């Protein structure tokens, strides 16, 4: 079965404008253009759109999606299994957040008081669980079991103020990476600012700091495809921009 832009937009629950934009950037080209100059989509394009929407649901950027789906190693069944695992992870996170929200609501209605530590425990536990799932094996191999366990415990002990400050720094780092990605020239001052923001961010989970460890972590962001995918979803080439900034600032 074939669909026009309007028909496929209605089927997928997205706008016709979105489909046209995907065509313009080369992410989802129609099967053909008919005699009336209408874009026509077939089954192959429908299946590709489903993958795109799964990635978008997981907050993956369009540039990263295009890179992933255009790779020769892209495998449909493997991608579907990854979508399933990621959505299950997202579901578990939402369930934990809902539980925390229910406890908070009960507390405000006169129930058992909820400590500030408990209010943020679900966020921190989920972050540790996600980090372990995605990067645990590599991180433990690189830094050792004791260091990783100590880091996780350090994160769990963050106060409400610490946690909010960490989020603020993370948002600032994300914004600087996006600005750098859109810049023709990245200045030394910008690289230093990115490095300092990243250092402040990691120190909320690291108990000790060394420049060599910081550089090693930056290298891992580029060398490990999962780290690279995470940062490049923030902005184009963000992983490389971050590593270069850290290396230029810290390396002798």
Q: Which residue, among 203, 186, 193, 200, has the nearest Cα to 240 in the 3D structure?
A: 186
Q: Is the pLDDT of residue 8 over 60?
A: yes
Q: Is the pLDDT of residue 30 over 70?
A: yes
For the segment 15-42, the average pLDDT, to the nearest whole number, is 93
Kindly list the structural domains of the chain, giving each domain's residue range(s) and its CATH number in brackets, ordered by start. Answer: 3-58 (1.10.1660.10), 115-250 (no CATH)
User: pLDDT digits over 171-210, tens only?
Assistant: 999 999 999 999 889 999 999 999 999 999 988 877 788 8
Reported confidence tier of residue 161, pLDDT bands at 50, 70, 90: confident
Q: Is the pLDDT of residue 107 over 70?
A: no
Q: Which residue, among 240, 214, 213, has the nearest Cα to 227 in the 3D structure?
A: 240
CB within 8 Å of 165: residues ≥ 6 apart: 204
Across the chain, mean pLDDT equals: 80
Q: Is the pLDDT of residue 103 over 60?
A: no
Which H or E run contains 48? helix 43-57
For the segment 221-227, the average pLDDT, to the nearest whole number, is 83
pLDDT of residue 97: 60
Indicate left, alpha or beta for 57 from its phi (over 0: left) and psi (-120 to 50: alpha): alpha
- Token reading at 217: 């972590």
Distance CA 14, CA 172 (A): 31
* SS3 of the chain: helix, strand, coil, percent, to 5: 75, 5, 25
pLDDT of residue 20: 94
Distance CA 232, CA 210 (A): 25
The DSSP symbol for 40 reads E
CA dihedral sign of residues 62, 67, 71, 77: negative
Residue 236 or residue 100, greater confidence: 236
Distance CA 225, CA 228 (A): 5
Contact 155, 128 (CB under 8 A): yes
pLDDT of residue 163: 72
- Token reading at 221: 């962001």
86: how many CB neighbours lie within 10 A of its CB?
A: 18
């Amino acid at each position: 079965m074939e669909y026009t832009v309007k028909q496929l937009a209605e089927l997928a629950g997205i706008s016709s404008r979105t489909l046209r934009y995907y065509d313009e950037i080369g992410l989802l080209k129609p099967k053909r253009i008919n005699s009336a100059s209408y874009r026509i989509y077939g089954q192959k394009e429908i299946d590709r759109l489903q993958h795109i929407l799964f990635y978008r649901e997981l907050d993956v950027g369009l540039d990263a999606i295009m890179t992933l789906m255009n790779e020769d190693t892209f495998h449909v069944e493997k991608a579907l299994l990854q979508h399933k695992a990621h959505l299950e992870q997202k579901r578990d996170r939402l369930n934990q957040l809902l539980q925390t929200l229910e406890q908070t609501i009960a507390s405000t209605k006169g129930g058992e008081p909820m400590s500030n530590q408990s209010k943020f425990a679900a966020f921190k536990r989920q972050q540790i669980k996600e980090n372990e799932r995605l990067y645990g094996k590599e991180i433990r191999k690189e830094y050792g079991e004791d260091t990783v366990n100590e880091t996780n415990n350090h994160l769990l002990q963050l106060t409400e103020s610490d946690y909010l400050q960490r989020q603020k720094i993370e948002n600032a780092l994300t914004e600087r990476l996006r600005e750098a990605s859109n810049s023709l020239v990245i200045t030394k001052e910008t690289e230093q600012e990115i490095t300092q923001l990243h250092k402040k961010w990691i120190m909320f989970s690291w108990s000790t700091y060394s420049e060599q460890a910081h550089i090693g972590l930056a290298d891992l962001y580029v060398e490990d495809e999962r780290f690279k995918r995470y940062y490049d979803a923030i902005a184009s080439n963000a992983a490389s921009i971050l590593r270069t900034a850290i290396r230029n600032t810290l390396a002798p």
